[in-house]
A and B are shown apart, each in its own frame.
Chain A
Amino acid sequence: MGVAVDWFERQGWEPFPFQQKTWKAFLEGRHGLLNAPTGSGKTYALWFPILLHHMQQQPNFRKQHKKGLKALWITPLRALSREIQQSAERITRDLEIPFEVGIRTGDTSNAERARQRKTLPDLLITTPESLQLLLATKGYHQLFRDCYAIVVDEWHELLGSKRGVQMELALSRLKTICPHLRIWGISATIGNLEQARQVLLGPDSEALVNSVLIRAALDKKITVKSIIPETMETFPWRGHLGLHLLEHVIPIIQASKTTLLFTNTRGQCEIWFQKILEKHPELAGDIAMHHGSIDKETRNWVEQAIRNESLRAVVCTSSLDLGVDFAPVETVVQIGGPKGVARFLQRAGRSGHRPGRESVIYFLPTHAMELIEASALQQAVREQAVEDRIPYLGSYDVLVQYLTTLAVSDGFRPEEIYREVSRTFCYQAMSREEWEWLLNFLVMGSQSLATYDEYKKVEVLPDGLFRVTNRGVAMRHRFQIGTIVGDAHMTVKYQKGGYIGTIEEWFISQLKPGDVFTFAGRNLEFIRIREMVAQVRNSSKKTSRVPSWMGGRLTLSSEMSKLLREELYSHALPGGQQSLEIQSLAPLFERQKLESIVPGPDQFLIETFQSREGFHHLFYPFEGRFVHEAMASLLSYRISLLSPITFSLAYNDYGFELLSDREMDIQMILDNDLFSAEYLLDDLQKSLNATEMARRKFRDIAVISGLVFSGYPKKGIKMKHLQSNSQLLFEVFRDYEPDHLLFRQAFRETFEHQLEEGRLRLALERISRQEIVWKACERFTPFSFPIITDRLREKLSSEKLADRIRRMTRILTRGGR
């Protein structure tokens, strides 16, 4: 360890206690989870002991070098890999260790991949998907034989996702094939750090017993400053862009050497970048944009420019949330609610990025109600009220994918793999029957044989090995592994060549030739799709079409919802006891009180009114979007049992709406006790059948498990004869195999990850103690406006189809252009 301390001294630094603790624990042969924020020097906390270990084992390391993989570094974002590579190379260079530090991600060239297949670099930086692809390589045992360390960086980002499950499975395999493996995770602060360690190492595992949790405990001061509009009168009641306050951002940018402006979606990022340049052309060349759809070179250039301080400001998305140690950013601006305290803290941490410095983050609300959120955020930062990341349980889709992966490479023996898999967190409750079921599914595509069936995927060889022998199956599977991340993407290129980036396929599919859209900071005219590439040319036309990326909808955590309610309730306090944000909302509250009320802690507000659209019924639990989704689904289902009715449901973080073509009697809802927590589970389950939530979840499950084949996007082969939509598939399963594990999973996931039954129950109990205040209004209120104008809606109906058709008033046309 002296070597490491010396090295630090030569840089003019002093190692932090958490770094030294990590070195020591690693060298003692322990596993662990390191809780350290971005910019704390976490990469050196783990690269050092990995290299020190080698130096100990191999005293003659400078002369004698045996090639091959020694350590893996897993990062969820390939954008971070260069940074991690550089910090490793800095040490290997200075200590004269002849190690090759390589990167293997979706961006790695085919030539480089082929070279790596022969011998992997000594240190390899890669993503969870690329690691799975390595497990799909013939003879992978050999590749990993001498690997003695794996670091899973940004574990908190992976934890609540299926990529985290992919990691659990990969680790379960590596534990067996790498006898001397040390497993380390790095996580930002989340509510369930202990659980995060369990998931990483395996519950009740030897590794867990022999592990440590090290907290960096850097005393970092974070100051949150809200940008408050001067007059509330002209500030919008809804919206998500925040452009009204653009001019307030300019002085912040000018006063600081470097500023990061975090937006919540790539679409918002594009618009902000463009508008700043439009209003302040003098900033051209000083600002740039960074998001996940922009090509790698541009992203690298931007990251480099942040480091050299050659840019004043960068408008970005979560693509810059993680990593990039030691990047000096002076100021951070958050545009719109970050919907999570952990994420907000992490973003704040990007400013004053050197240990010990104060971090300042500006919060820019995009609409009036978000000022309440701004105020609650300050509270949350003070109390460090960070949320949990809920790990997945029983994700059969990922397991099906993983088993196929093993069958593609060297084949697997069920007994051995079952032992490994059943010890992971995700599959700890999997029964022997379910395991057998999955094996049957892989081999027969069913639970029984039929003479006429031609299903082909995994075969059982005479010696009992489960193996894919068909080349087509193997090839399609390898292509499918990367799709766990989400939507199908399409490459955007100029007609004459020239790569611009990638966009979700569904956005392109809405465009007609000649349409102009904004992407990567340019106005582009769509020409045509050729071989899965969208061809475009530059356009000088003005446009308002900006790709809005899916997945932009996040919800408040329960901690944050509670703080939000408390902030709202403070409206009744004397001005001196209120935050600035709440004070500034006084005109809005007055307006709300014209026809309705601003509820207090003992009140549950219901508003109704009629418009051209129909009858609006609004409910305000202030529990966050997911709870509202569940409650709307539950309530509308219960109402639909009383008489045939059809609803359109909408929600935000404050409340939800049931819209119908008929008026509902609120008194009837109250008299029938429809907010009761009794029979909750049963009713909720039935309401799921009536809405489309599970159907949407099934889409991902079908893709991950290989039921739907998405084509070879990069090869430009569409395989149309193998495409089906998951909607159709959902119906087929519902009608023919409703007990199918993958079909059931869609419902379970909706339950566990979206509806959060536990939180719903607590919310219902709270409502049962509140006084219900029902206001029949003439028109919309400041509270209801953002909800009723939301277009992303759920449907629920108990009416006969023929009856519904009869009341339809028009035939819809596409897009309305």
Chain B
Amino acid sequence: MGIFGHMTHSLDLAGESVEFHPWGGLYWPAQSTLLLSDLHLGKVMHFRKYGAAVPREALLRNFDRLSRICTQFQPRTLCFLGDLFHSHVNREWDLFEKWARETGSRLQLIVGNHDIISPLRYEALGFELFQHLETGPFRLTHHPEKSPGRFNIAGHIHPAVRLGGAGRQTLRLPCFHLRANQLILPAFGAFTGTHALDPEPGDQFFALTGDAVVPLAVEQTGPTP
């Protein structure tokens, strides 16, 4: 990765041009808005607080990636599609506060099921909070919804796709999941799992390899061997 950051994948969504980032972010240049979903900050510390010694340094990756992706896009608005913080407040929140005070972006949060921290704390950091948000052709939510006439962008699922090939090869990769009028973002958080999807006709997947976004040309589906 050079000083220009990671290679993104550009495409048209509901008439708007957007870019998919290999770590799972979506950038919308026309509005200078960056969408990130399911960071689950605080999870590492939450585990440690309960006596499970997950390496402490792992929590730094989220902040490191946050900083780097913001440096790459310099977004005017940074919108989190829910599950920003995994648990109750813990000391990871302090790190998050520090980061939030230093960022130059306007901050928005679509509240997700894990977001149980008082809205006042977010508002004190300059966050705008929403249950959902309509912007341009998009309806941004945490849980995927059917929204007639709008294009829904959501998180929550932590989508992954499983691929099979000759020689009994299989791969499982986090992905952007696109279907008619809906896009599900992959989880941006480092210490989060994924959920493998069962594809339906018309689904499109953009797999993340860590340093690239690879649109899947595969049409055929079949059972896991």
Q: Which residues on A are within 8 Å of B, measured CB to CB? A: 441, 445-446, 450, 452-457, 470, 472-473, 476-477, 613-615, 646-648, 659-662, 706-709, 721-722, 724-725, 727-729, 732-733, 735-737, 740, 791, 793, 795, 801-802, 804-817
By the criterion CB–CB under 8 Å, are B53 and A441 in contact? yes
- In the assembled complex, the Cα of A613 lies from the Cα of B164 at a distance in Å of 11
Task: Kindly report which residue of chain A lies nearest to residue B161, judged by CB atoms.
Answer: A811
How many Å from the CB of A511 to the closest CB on chain B?
A: 16
- Does B4 count as interface, using CB distance less than 8 angstroms? no
Residues of B within 8 A of A807 (CB): 165-166, 169
Contact B167 A452 (CB under 8 A): no
- On whether A811 and B218 interact (CB within 8 A), knowing A455-B53, A455-B56, A816-B223, the answer reads yes
From B68-76, B84-92, B104-112, B119-127, give the one contacting chain A.
B84-92
B1-25 vs A, Cβ < 8 Å mask (1 yes, 0 no): 0000000000000000000000000
Among A476, A647, A648, A725, which residue has the most Cβ atoms of chain B within 10 A?
Answer: A648
Please tell me which one of the listed residues A724, A736, A814 contacts residue B193 in the complex, with CB atoms under 8 A apart: A724
Q: Name 15 extra pairs, CB < 8 A, besides A614-B167, A648-B167.
A: A445-B53, A452-B91, A455-B48, A457-B51, A472-B50, A646-B169, A659-B168, A661-B169, A708-B52, A722-B50, A724-B54, A793-B168, A810-B222, A812-B225, A813-B224
- Alpha-carbon separation in the docked complex, A806 to B171 (Å): 11
Interface residue from A473, A707, A811 paired with B199 (Cβ < 8 Å): A811
Interface, chain B (partner A; CB < 8 A): 45-58, 61, 86-87, 90-92, 94-95, 161-171, 173, 190-193, 196, 198-199, 205, 207, 209-210, 212, 214, 216, 218, 220-225
Given that A736-B55, A802-B214, A810-B218 are known contacts, is A454 also in contact with B163, CB under 8 Å in the complex? no
The CB with the most chain B CB atoms within 10 A, among A457, A802, A807, A812, is that of: A812
6 contacts between A and B (CB under 8 A): A441-B53, A452-B91, A455-B48, A722-B46, A805-B171, A809-B166
CB of B89, distance to nearest CB on chain A (Å): 11
**Given A791-B225, A810-B163, A812-B221: A456 touches B50 (CB 8 Å cut-off):** yes
Interfacial chain A residues near B95, Cβ < 8 Å? 452
Q: Tell whether, in the assembled complex, residue A707 and residue B53 are in contact, meaning their CB atoms are under 8 Å apart.
A: yes
B207 touching A805 by the CB < 8 A rule? yes
A808–B165 CB distance below 8 A: yes
CB distance from B163 to the nearest CB of A (A): 4
Residues of chain A within 8 A of B225, CB atoms compared: 791, 812
B218 partner residues in chain A, CB cutoff 8 A: 808-811
Q: Is B207's CB under 8 angstroms from A613's CB?
A: no
Residues of A within 8 A of B49 (CB): 454-456
- Whether the pair B162, A476 counts as a contact (CB closer than 8 A) is no
Contacts of A470 in B (CB 8 A): 51
**Contact call B163/A811, Cβ cutoff below 8 A:** yes
Residues of B contacting A452 in the complex (Cβ-Cβ under 8 angstroms): 45, 91-92, 94-95
List, in ascending order, chain B residues with CB within 8 A of A801's CB: 171, 173, 209-210
A613 & B53 in contact (Cβ 8 Å cutoff): no
Question: Judging by beta carbons under 8 Å apart, are B162 and A812 in contact?
Answer: yes
A637 to B79, CA, bound (A): 44
Closest Cβ neighbor of A816 among chain B residues:
B223
Chain A residues with CB under 8 Å of B87's CB are: 721
Give the interface centre of B47, B55, B198, B224 by most chain A CB atoms within 10 Å.
Answer: B55
* Nearest chain B residue, comparing its CB with the CB of A648: B168
Q: Given A445-B48, A802-B212, A816-B223, are A614 and B168 also a contact pair (CB < 8 Å)?
A: yes
Interface pair B191/A732, CB less than 8 Å apart: yes
Contacts of B173 in A (CB 8 A): 801, 805
Partner of B163, one of A614, A808, A817: A808
State whether B52 touches A707 (Cβ < 8 A). yes
Contacts of B50 on A, CB cut-off 8 Å?
456, 472-473, 476, 709, 722
Which residues does chain A contribute within 8 Å of B55, judged by CB atoms? Answer: 446, 732-733, 736-737, 740
Q: How far, in Å, is A707 (CB) from chain B's closest CB?
A: 5
Q: A811-B221, A813-B224 are in contact. Are A615 and B167 (CB under 8 A)?
A: yes
Chain A residue at minimal CB-CB distance from B60: A736
Closest A residue, CB atoms, query B220: A810
Closest A residue to B192 by beta carbon equals: A728
Q: Which A residues are in CB contact (< 8 Å) with B205? A: 811
- What is the distance, in angstroms, from A658's C-beta to the closest C-beta of chain B? 9
| Cα of A802 to Cα of B225 in the assembled complex, Å | 22
A813–B171 touching, CB < 8 Å: no
Which residues of A are found within 8 Å of B222, using beta-carbon distances?
Answer: 810-813, 816
- Given contacts A455-B49, A709-B50, A802-B214, A815 and B209 within 8 Å (CB-CB): no
CA gap between A810 and B163 in the complex, in Å: 6
- Contact across chains for B48 and A814 when beta carbons are under 8 A apart: no
Residues of B within 8 A of A735 (CB): 58, 61
Expressed in whole angstroms, the minimum distance between the Cβ of A673 and any Cβ of chain B is 25
Chain A residue with the shortest CB-CB distance to B168 = A648
Contact A812:B163 (CB < 8 A) given known A452-B91, A454-B48, A457-B53: yes
Within the complex, which residue of A721, A802, A814 is in contact with B86, where a contact is CB–CB below 8 Å?
A: A721
Closest chain B residue to A804, Cβ basis: B171
Distance (whole angstroms) from the CB of A60 to the closest CB of chain B: 50
CB neighbours (8 Å) of A477 from chain B are 51
Q: Which one of A446, A647, A795, A811 contacts B220 once the chains associate, using CB atoms below 8 Å?
A: A811
Task: Contacts A457-B53, A801-B210, A811-B199 given; indicate if A661 touches B162 (C-beta within 8 A).
Answer: no
Contact of B53 with A661 in the complex, beta carbons under 8 Å: no
Min distance, Cβ A500 to any Cβ of chain B, angstroms: 29
Residues of B within 8 A of A660 (CB): 167
Closest to A468 in B: B51
Residues from chain A with a CB closer than 8 A to the CB of B209 are 801-802, 805
Contact between chains at A613 and B168 (CB < 8 Å): yes
Nearest-CB residue, chain A, relative to B57: A736
**Nearest B residue to A658 by beta-carbon distance?**
B167
CB distance from A725 to the nearest CB of B (A): 6
A812 to B52, Cβ gap below 8 A? no
Most chain A CB inside 10 Å of its own CB: which residue of B56, B87, B163: B56
B165–A661 touching, CB < 8 Å: yes
Chain A residues closer than 8 Å to B45, beta-carbon distance: 452-454
Q: Which residues of B contact A661 (CB under 8 A)?
A: 165-167, 169
**Most chain A CB neighbours (cut-off 10 Å) among B51, B57, B162:** B51
Bound complex: CA of A727 vs CA of B193, how far in Å?
A: 9
> Which chain A residue lies CB-closest to B87?
A721
Asked whether, in the complex, the Cβ of B198 is within 8 Å of the Cβ of A809, the reply is no
Residues of B within 8 A of A814 (CB): 196, 198, 223-224
Tell me whether A811 and B165 are in contact (CB under 8 A): no
Q: How distant is B119 from chain A, measured CB to nearest CB, in Å?
A: 20
User: Which residue of chain A is the closest to B91 with respect to CB atoms?
Assistant: A452
Which residues does chain B contribute within 8 Å of A729, judged by CB atoms? 54
Q: Once bound together, how far apart are the Cα atoms of A729 and B209, in whole Å? A: 19
Question: What is the bound-complex CA distance between A487 and B125, given in angstroms?
Answer: 44
Q: How far is the CA of A801 from the CA of B57 in the complex (A)?
A: 26
> Which residue from chain A places its CB closest to the CB of B166 in the assembled complex?
A661
Q: Shortest CB–CB separation between residue A38 and chain B, in angstroms?
A: 41
**Complex contact A473–B221 (CB within 8 A):** no
Do the beta carbons of B52 and A709 come within 8 Å of each other? Answer: yes
Instruction: Tell me whether A805 and B167 are in contact in the complex, defined as CB-CB below 8 angstroms, given that A722-B47, A810-B220 are known contacts.
Output: no
B51:A809 contact, CB within 8 angstroms? no
Q: Give the complex CA separation of A269 and B169 in angstroms.
A: 32
Contact across chains for A453 and B48 when beta carbons are under 8 A apart: yes
Q: Provide the residues of chain B in CB contact with A659, threshold 8 Å.
A: 167-168
Closest to A404 in B: B51
| Interchain residue pairs A-B with the least CB separation, the first 5 | A816-B223, A445-B53, A614-B167, A661-B166, A661-B167
Please name the residue on chain B nearest to A662 by beta carbon. Answer: B167
Chain B contacts for A806, CB-based, 8 A: 214
Q: What is the distance, in angstroms, from B58's C-beta to the closest C-beta of chain A?
A: 5
A707, A736, A809, A816: the one contacting B165 at CB < 8 Å is A809
Q: When the two chains form their complex, are residues B47 and A724 in contact, meaning their CB atoms are under 8 A apart?
A: yes
Most central of A454, A648, A737 by chain B CB within 10 Å: A454
Instruction: Assess whether A815 is in contact with B56, with CB atoms less than 8 Å apart.
Output: no
A residues near B167, Cβ cutoff 8 Å: 613-615, 646-648, 659-662
**CB contact under 8 A between A724 and B166, given known A473-B51, A809-B218:** no
